Structure 1
Amino acid sequence: MRDGEERWWRRKPQGGRGRGGPPRRPAGGPGRGRRRWPGSPESRRRRCPSCCPGATSPPVGRSRRRPRAKVLDAAHSLGYVPDPAASRLAAARNNLLGVFSFTATFPTDVRHSYYPFLVGVEQEAAAQGYDLVLFTGSSTGGAGAGGAGALNRVRLADGCLFLGRHAPADALRRLVADDFPVVHVGRRDEPEGLAWVGADYVSASREVVTALAGLGHRRVLLVREDDDAPASTDRERGFLDGLAASGLPAGPDAVFRSGDPRGDLTADRVRAWVADGVTAFVAEETDTGAAWRALRAAVDATGLDCPGQVSLALLGSPPADLADGPAPMGFDIPRPALGAEAVRLLATRIAGGPAEGTLVACAFRAGATAGPPAVP
């Protein structure tokens, strides 16, 4: 036995203090720290508990869930509220949609032309499970200031809708280049890659001119403001298309552009147009309604009867303060539907969908300001 023990010690020298010495037992009594051979039954049970009878593996998933549940219970009892910024960093989303209005204050007055857009935005955002963050250009360095970083704060949201005829193209271009989800309410030609939702002003304006031609008018004049917003460009294009399709004069004299309609559109000018054969006047709708206000005031100042002597039409809806008069011939813009469609498109962009442009049809309005031309 002694010879065997000595031979075993020589084969396993790493157990002792030096080469050939007896193995040192660890503290704690005999049997503890005992080496187990890889092929022993006990070793197999520890390495592969599922394949050995009578052995069970510890509930790892359950053991992890219990501490997590305790942490959540403690956070709830202490009134802890997750930080939205931290949640955004962790999940890359916070279920917030921005709405940016290029106005000093947000247009919450029901008489404001933007208000119906916001109704559709709010309803669809709730249906999509988003909350809204409202931005304006009134704060220092905001969009109204036109600074280089004017629109950067909209990045607090998952994506943003923009309302306004003259959104800064450079700022929008930076957001699009950074692949930040953006949707503009209103058709835009630039920047490339910008998603937008707009009314089909071309088709609607063409339909108004076709209706006037159907009443017998042979000279029709468009009054518009002197800017190149896409909405104004589309209305003029539809107006001229309607004239051409009806065989009416569609040259430069068919459109009157003015940077100051109130000052330029006088009663004398209207009388001169009527004397030259114009029997119907059409104005564009804008945020201010300047063209329609000036046209109405000038016609009233001439004393001409509408629609007995001249006919009037509006490419859109009248301002809220003029809505109590006779409804003008024209079309109604589906503003709530545009707002809802913009939210749906923005949700698609946030989910990684393509940037697209969508046109929504307008509804023709016969009104009470147009009739057959007066017989000379």
Structure 2
Amino acid sequence: MEEPRKRARPGRAPAPAGRTSRPRQAEVARLAGVSQATVSLVLGGSKQGASISEETRQKVLDAVRSLGYVPDPAASGLAAARNNLLGVFSFTSTFPTDVQHSYYPFLVGVEQEAAVRGYDLVLFTGSSSGGAGAAGPNALNRVRLADGCLFLGRHAPAEELQRLVADGFPVVHLGRRDELEGLAWVGADYISASKEVVAHLADLGHRRIVLVREDDEAPASSDREHGFLKGLEEAGLPGGPDAVLRSADLRRDLTADRLRGWLRDGVTAFVAEETDTGDAWRVLRGAAGAAGLDCPGDASLALLGSPPPDLSEDPAPTGFDIPRPQLGAAAVRMLAALVAGEQATEPLVACTFRPGTSAGAPPAQP
């Protein structure tokens, strides 16, 4: 007896030739001509303050059938029943010994804003096992236990974040990440703050200034360097490659002899960037001490950010402070908007100039 022929599923187009992965929500959104948030609301049946026309709903459903899209089961379950949880995932140590110079200030703002909006928080301890990358390509899937997730850290894995965004999961990165299409982020205005520090040094009379930084591709580092060079340009001071020392080994390349050489060439001020390690500022101060320099008498120093914990008791350096609690609060506002299916925008948060005591007028020329 001939076996009954399996009936084809109606309305589903065949998968594109060569395709190895299932369609993603971002593709549904592009085909339907709507946002991913709208696709998420249509598929989840959410009524959270969003008015979706029948025409738009039908476009989404037609795109779903055409692509053969199957919603992620974990994400679908959460979309149908929000649990008022926001995730926080850090790619560096979240709670080092000195909380004032860790992610703690960010988390203060996160906690306060989450409480105002009726959310609880769940901390995902990615850094304790060497970060998400150490756990394989699906390491971030557990964040789907929350309604959305906030990510912190200079080196969050781009591919995994992009996968969450493509699946329509609400994600916000604390710190600029505009190289990842569709990823929402909030950040500090490091460019303007760095320009302000350079302008201050120029007003004091410095005419040659050098930036020392780690060899780091993090957007925050790039923004600081861009602002530094822009500040030199606006002040009419020499810039270019000679104005920046970028090194993967600052302890080797930033020595007392090198500082003395710069001073002989007319450099009178040195600027370091803040990073998670704090190495640039620590090595710069050490080299100045080894060279026997009185700062700011013999040379001025400035820091684009806050000093590392082991130097926090020293006199405050000239530079700027990062508004960490305000950034945390802004990130929660953006994440809550994405969870609700709304458009989410937050302006760059301004940093506060810190006069400090490490910069003064350049020494008189003999």
Deviation, 1:105, is 6.0
Distance 1:244 1:99 in 2: 39
Deviation (angstroms), 1:195: 0.7
Question: Are 1:230 and 2:219 counterparts?
Answer: yes
- Cα pair 2:147 2:339 within 8 Å, conserved: yes
Alignment of 1:208 with 2:225, yes or no, is no
* Equivalent position of 2:153 in the other structure: 164
More moved, 165-174 vs 189-198: 189-198
Question: Is 1:285 paired with 2:285?
Answer: no
Give me the whole-angstrom Cα distance separating, in 1, the residues matched to 2:144 and 2:130: 15
Q: What CA distance in whole angstroms lies between the structure 2 residues aligned with 1:128 and 1:355? A: 15
Which residue of structure 2 aligns with residue 361 of structure 1? 350
**Corresponding residue for 1:317?**
306
- Residue-by-residue CA offset, 1:55-110 (whole Å, 9 max, x unaligned): xxxxxxxxxxxxxxxxxxxxxxxxxxxxxx9x965843100000001136655851
1:226-247: CA deviations, max 9, x gaps? 0111000000000000000000
Provide the rounded CA distance (Å) in 2 between the counterparts of 1:157 and 1:361.
30
Selected match of 2:110 from 104, 113, 121: 121
Maintained 8 Å contact 1:169/1:190: no
User: CA 1:142–1:260 in structure 2 vs 1: closer, same or farther (change >3 Å)?
Assistant: closer
8 Å CA contact 2:193–2:350 kept in 1: the answer is: yes
Matched residue, 1:53: none
Residues in 1 aligned to 2:170 and 2:356: alpha-carbon distance in whole angstroms: 40
Decide which of 328, 340, 347 is 1:339's aligned counterpart: 328
TM-score normalised by structure 2 residue count:
0.76
2:228 equivalent to 1:244? no
**Equivalence for 1:30:** none
Query: How big is the shift at 1:355?
Result: 4.8
TM superposition score normalised by structure 1 = 0.74
Distance 1:152-1:137 versus aligned 2 partners, 3 A rule: same
Q: Show the counterpart of 1:38.
A: none
Which amino acid is 1:327 matched to? A
The equivalences for 1:181-192 within 5 A come to 181-192=170-181
Q: How far does the alpha carbon of each residue in 1:128-176 deviate from its partner, in whole angstroms, 9 at most, with x for none?
A: 1111110122566961416211111101000000000111100010001
Task: Name the SS of the counterpart of 2:363 in structure 1.
Answer: coil
C-alpha spacing 1:139/1:273, structure 2 compared with 1 (3 Å):
closer
Residue by residue, what CA displacement relative to the aligned partner does 1:245-270 show, whole Å, maximum 9, x if unpaired?
A: 00000111000001111222111111
Contact 2:272 2:303 in 1 (8 A): yes
The answer for unaligned runs of 5 or more in structure 2 is 1-73
State yes or no: 1:276 paired with 2:265: yes
1:296 alignment partner AA: R
1:97 aligns with 2:89: no
Contact persistence 2:297–2:360 (CA under 8 A): yes
For the 8 Å contact 2:94–2:103, the answer to whether it is kept is no
Structure 2 SS opposite 1:214? helix
The one-letter code sitting in structure 1 at the alignment partner of 2:194 is S
Whether 1:174 and 2:160 are equivalent positions in the alignment is: no
Distance 1:356 1:179 in 2: 17
Map 1:2-21 to 2 at 5 A.
none
- 2:79, 2:103 → 1: CA distance? 35
Supply the distance in 2 between the matched residues of 1:128 and 1:178 (Cα, whole angstroms): 25
Output the aligned Cα RMSD: 2.0
Distance 2:287 2:129 in 1: 40
Contact 2:95 2:103 in 1 (8 A): no
SS at the partner of 1:153? Answer: helix
CA distance in 2, matches of 1:315, 1:173: 30
The one of 206, 211, 220 aligned to 2:209: 220
**C-alpha contact (below 8 Å) 2:271/2:304 kept by paired residues:** yes
Could you tell me how far 1:293 is from its partner in structure 2? 0.5
What displacement does 1:179 show? 0.9
- Identify if the C-alpha distance between structure 1 residues 337 and 233 changes in structure 2 by more than 3 Å, giving closer, same or farther: same
Fraction of identical pairs, as percent? 76
Unmatched 5+ stretches in structure 1: 1-84
Q: Residue type of the partner of 1:352?
A: G
Distance in 2 separating the partners of 1:108 and 1:292 = 20
